[in-house]
């Protein structure tokens, strides 16, 4: 495998992991039927566990990093049968949600299930998530204030 296709693979996986990380438990639970038979061989390599992580930010997006605060996060790693390892990280403390996301990650890495899940799970979720984001941005944009420094006339 060349490095080019492997980079592409990782960015694809990053994309679906990002969608899974933002999906709610209800959304994931509703699609569990897509995974049905594989669940019989579920092995919890790292059972879902809750921890903390430090969120860091930069002032204005470019300044020095500072610690914004801590957030609870849940993570999980599973394997279905002899398949690849599925992992998940999600904000919050919902262990079931992380487990479901890890199951879907494992299945998405499996060529047999990939296309099916990509079209029935990831794409609808990604569309819904970007719509929600656009809507929120639209709502917030109306209250945006721009600051200008006016040159004084006597300068």
109 interacts with other proteins by CB under 8 A: yes
> What Rg do the C-alpha atoms of the chain give, in angstroms?
20
- In eight-state DSSP terms, residue 152 is P
Q: Phi then psi for 54, rounded to 5 degrees?
A: -90, 120
User: Of 41 and 43, which CB lies nearer to other proteins in the complex structure?
Assistant: 43
39 interacts with other proteins by CB under 8 A: no
User: Of 23 and 87, which CB lies nearer to other proteins in the complex structure?
Assistant: 87
Tell the smallest beta-carbon distance from residue 51 to other proteins (Å). Answer: 11
Tell the smallest beta-carbon distance from residue 85 to other proteins (Å). Answer: 5
Q: Which of 15, 18, 45, 132 is in the footprint of other proteins by CB under 8 A?
A: 45
84 interacts with other proteins by CB under 8 A: yes
41 interacts with other proteins by CB under 8 A: no
Q: What residue has token string 């957030």?
A: 71
Q: How far apart are CA 147 and CA 11, in angstroms?
A: 38
User: Of 72 and 131, which CB lies nearer to other proteins in the complex structure?
Assistant: 72
Q: Where are the beta strands (DSSP E) in 42-151?
A: 42-58, 65-80, 85-91
Task: Identify the H or E element spanning 118.
Answer: none
Q: How far apart are CA 135 and CA 71, in angstroms?
A: 25
Interface with other proteins (CB under 8 A): 1, 9, 43-47, 49, 77, 79, 82, 84-85, 109
């Amino acid at each position: 495998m060349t490095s080019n296709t492997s980079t592409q693979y990782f960015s694809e996986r990053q994309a679906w992991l990002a969608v899974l990380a933002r999906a709610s438990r209800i959304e994931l639970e509703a699609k569990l039927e897509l995974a049905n038979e594989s669940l019989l061989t579920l092995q919890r390599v790292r059972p879902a566990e809750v921890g903390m992580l430090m969120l860091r930010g930069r002032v204005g997006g470019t300044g020095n990093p500072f610690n914004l605060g801590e957030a609870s996060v849940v993570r999980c790693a599973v394997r279905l049968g002899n398949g690849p390892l599925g992992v998940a990280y999600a904000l919050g403390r919902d262990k079931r949600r992380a487990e479901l996301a890890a199951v879907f990650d494992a299945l998405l890495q499996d060529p047999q299930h990939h296309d099916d899940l990509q079209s029935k799970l990831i794409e609808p979720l990604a569309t819904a998530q970007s719509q929600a984001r656009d809507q929120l941005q639209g709502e917030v944009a109306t209250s945006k204030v721009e600051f200008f420094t006016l040159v004084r006339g006597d300068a």
